[in-house]
Each structure stands twice: as structure tokens, then as C-alpha cells.
Copies of this chain bind each other. A is one copy, B any other.
Amino acid sequence: MQFQIKILGSSSALPSSTRMPSAQAVIYNKTPYLIDCAEATQMQMRKYSIPFGKLKHIFISHLHGDHFYGIFGLLSSFNLLGREQDLHIYAPPKLKEIIKTLHKLNGDELKYKLIFHDLTSNGKNLIFQNKYLEIYSFPLKHSKAVWGFLFQEKEKLRNIKKEVIEKYNLSISEIVKVKNGDDLIDENGKLIKNQELTYDSSKPRTYAYCTDTIPIKDLDKYIYNVDLLYHEATFGSELADIALQTFHSTPSQAAEIAKLVNAKKLLIGHFSTRYKNINPLLKEAQQVFKNTIAAEDGLLLNL
């Protein structure tokens, strides 16, 4: 099953000539999920061929403009494109009020329904699930209330060996039981252990998104063993005091968090526009956590 991360914006609050502010598309099983929606996100979605019509879920980490000012235009474009299906928005409660008030003041009406899911600050919460995927929110710490998001594949059923089905003439319900890990009693009353009938399925993959935040010293209570961790690294360590004052992180802090949560890979982003060249930021992180890469607009990662 396809599980991809497409970076739509990798800058911090100010856009640069090459980096837009925060937005990412998580593409799972051909379905995009949008995380953050800065100004120009709909332009970036168009540029990078993220299918508008398939987007049903938008996750907004917090209400700084560089993470949600693109939602007004996106909602409007959906309307112009004739959207009828519901759109789910997972965001701090105030966003609902902001969008509804803007539409009311300006006399705008959408032809489709917005369904808001309020993010709350208490612990790790399952905010979405379908057959294959679970999405959790968890609190981070910034100058505004902010949440991280964890995309986690569900535990997969065991893979049944093809020859087993014929050999024991298994019914559909027996196949389901075996795939769920049950042993089998054959027609002679003999017990066949599950491990003779099946092999391991692939390990569920996970992606965690953490911006804007100071490093959270006990983040491992919310996320652990993640395949890919996106963590902001707005300022280099030479500006650690500014990072702290503005509730942001440095690359080495992001890398320490990657170690803490036992990430396989770290992706840093949300770079201040003062860095024309982000190689020093990348190197700083790699000195602490080797398997680090730097986000850039258009980057596609396969999990």
C-alpha cells in the first residue's frame, strides 16, 4: 500500500522565492490527507498534482497564519469546482469560528458541508481511522496551542500461505480466523499451529508531524518507533536563544527528539528565511542523528 509524504511548503512564517510556508500531503492508498494549509497551498497542490477531488481530510496544527491562511482559497476553489462531498477539518476550535464568521460577513455559502473536529489539548487522541489507517493528535508546545499528528497503519492481518487454503479446503470464515492468528483444527481433529499456516505481514508504518514547537522532552509517551519524524528546525543552534523565545527548535534539538522517539529517519523543515543555504542546519542535525534529511518544496518520500 502506497504511503507517501509530499512536501508542499518547507519555509517558516515568511515565504521565500523557493519555499512556501507549511503544508504537506500524506498520500495513503491513493488518498491525500492535507497537513497544514498555508497561503498558496492550493497552488502547490496543483503544481505537484495532488488530486483536489480526493481530499476529504485536512489537519491544521495551530492557528498561526502561515499554517492556515490558505484554507479560505482552497474551500472557495472546491466550491467553484462543484464539490458536493463533505470535507473534514481537524483543527483548534477557533478555526471553525473564523471560517464561519468570514463566510457570514462576506455572504459566502459553500455547496458542500464542512465537518469540524476540534483538537483538544489532552494527551494522545485518535481523531481519524479507516480500514487501514489511524491518525492521532498529540499536544506540542508553542506560543499558540499546537498539535502534532501521527499517521499510523493499522496492524495487518497475517498472510495466509496459498497452498494451505486448498490443502485444508478452508471456508471464508476459517481463512479470516487463520489470518487473525488462530490455530486450525483439521477434519481429523488435528491441531495445526498458525505459524505453519501463515507468515508475518509487513510491519505497520508510521509518520509523525511536529511543528511549531520547542523540543518536548517526553514526546516518547505519544510517539515511539516512528518510521519518519518530521520535526521543525527553524533556527540553527547559534540562535538557540531566539528559538527558545519564539518557541521553536534547532536542528540538534530536533535530532535529539528523533533519538528520543527512536525514529528511523528524521526530516527537518520550517526553516527561517534567513537561511538561504540550509546545509549548515542539515549538518547540525546529522551530527546528532545521522539519518536526517532536509525538507524542500516538492520533495516526495516513500515510507
Contacts and interface: CB of A to CB of B under 8 A. Distances in A.
Interface string A79-102: 011000000000000100110011
B15 A42 contact: yes
Interface stretch (A63-71, A112-120, A176-184, A198-206): A63-71
Interface string A3-20: 000000000011111001
Contact of A98 (B38, B73, B80, B105): B105
Contacts of A29: none
A43 B15 contact: yes
A46 interface: yes
Contacts of A153: none
Contacts of A279: none
A17 B46 contact: yes
Interface in A37-73: 38-40, 42-43, 46-47, 63, 65-66, 69-70, 72-73
A173 interface: no
A98 B94 contact: no
A81 B14 CA distance: 9
A93 to B, nearest CB: 11
Contacts of A39: 39-40, 42-43, 70, 72-73
B80 A14 contact: yes
Given A13-B76, A15-B42, 6 more contacts: A13-B77, A13-B80, A17-B46, A20-B43, A69-B72, A69-B73
